[in-house]
Amino acid sequence: MTPLLDLRVAALRPAADDIVELTLEPLPGQTLPPCSAGAHVDLHLPGGIVRPYSLCNDPAERTRYVFGVLRESASRGGSKAVHEALQVGQQLRTSLPKNNFALHAGAAPALLLAGGIGVTPLLGMARQLAREGRPFVLHYAGRTRRRMAFLAEMLQAGLLLPAHLHVDDEGTAPDLAQVLRTQAAGTELYVCGPTGFMDAVDASAQALAWPAARLHRERFSAAPVDQAASADRAFDIQIAGTGQIVPVPVGCTAAAALQAAGLPLYTSCEQGVCGTCLTRVLDGEPEHRDQYLTPEEQAANDQFLPCCSRARGGRLVIEL
């Protein structure tokens, strides 16, 4: 069983329109486990909802975890629970910190590109880079200042220069190609934000032949799936070691089928972006629908995300 932390809601305050800053602290006599910039934890919210949220405070802090949570208009329950169900003093369970979006070690310059609420993991990165004296530039883009979290705090701390603030309704949307073109050789690029912003950065980076090994992304939601090209098919999952067969019918995810069969599988985002349910594949060919694995990792066909991916054939053999 994956260990969980019992924390206390220490503060809830507005960080921008429809964005709340959530601070969690350890219970008396306890300490927080260490984390690194770019990390997230899974919040176990009221109603049995589990959702991943990125940490935005300096990872050197050991007395609190801080998050910025946007109230999503199409919320599946997670952001609504944070905004409406949590109260100061309430205890909340979380996972241990996980990091699929870590800063690379070394002295290479870092370019941080944030779109909207995607600033949260990049803010943690900026704080660590500033503390360590490593070179970095943060560009922060949003539709309007009223919906840009932590803006005044970043400007005051010098983590964000006014020239690197891009606001659509002020006519200062970023020229992403120009931003990328002017970076020093060897710069590591970190980007997080809505799908449209991420796609625009990807397009600019590809046009400029930015090396894939120096482009690091974190998505908060999955891009739309081409339903015509990805029609569901029923298939079976066989559990290595026991031989148990779990049918996965049309309209049911592999994760849901495994959980309904009483098998231990932990999920979080349920969209194939966080990697929580990553599962080893021993035989069969997955139909990858995630945005977590790299193209090379998908091509290896030795792991898949059962929250969204399926099988190209009739059976997958997996290891739990």
Environment class of residue 150 by beta-carbon count within 10 Å: exposed (0-12), middle (13-18) or buried (19+)? buried
Question: What is the location of CATH 2.40.30.10 in the chain?
Answer: 4-95
pTM for this prediction: 0.77
pLDDT at 108 over 60: yes
Q: What is the pLDDT of residue 21?
A: 97
Residues near 6 by beta carbon (within 8 Å), at least 6 away in sequence: 27, 30, 91, 92, 93
Question: What is residue 221's predicted lDDT score, i.e. its pLDDT?
Answer: 59
Q: Give the pLDDT score at 264.
A: 81
For 4-95, CATH gives 2.40.30.10
Sheet containing 136-142: give its strands across.
165-167, 136-142, 110-115, 188-193, 215-219
Which part of the chain has CATH 3.40.50.80?
A: 110-219
pLDDT in tens, 18-38: 999 999 999 999 989 999 999
pLDDT band for position 100 (cuts 50, 70, 90): confident
Looking at residue 320, its pLDDT comes to 86
Compute the half-sphere exposure of residue 191: CA atoms within 13 Å on the CB side of its CA.
23
pLDDT in tens, 155-176: 999 999 999 999 999 999 999 9
pLDDT at 75 over 70: no
Q: What is the pLDDT of residue 74?
A: 64
**Is CATH 1.10.287.4070 what the domain over 235-319 is classified as, yes or no?**
no
Mean pLDDT of 91-112: 92
Write out the residue limits of the CATH 3.10.20.30 domain(s) in the chain.
Answer: 235-319
Give the pLDDT band (50/70/90) at residue 51. confident
Question: Hey, what amino acid is at 246?
Answer: V
Neighbour count for residue 178 (Cβ, 10 Å):
9
Sign of the alpha-carbon dihedral angle for 115, 137, 219, 97? negative
Q: What is the mean pLDDT of residues 198-213?
A: 92
Res. 67: pLDDT tops 70: yes
Residues of the chain above pLDDT 70, percent:
95
DSSP string, 64-96: -EEEEEE--TT--SHHHHHHHT--TT-EEEEEP
CATH fold for domain 110-219: Rossmann fold (3.40.50)
Q: What is the mean pLDDT of residues 282-303?
A: 88
Q: Does residue 269 have a pLDDT over 80?
A: no
pLDDT at 226 over 50: no
DSSP codes of every residue in 263-282: -----SSSSSSS-TT-EEEE
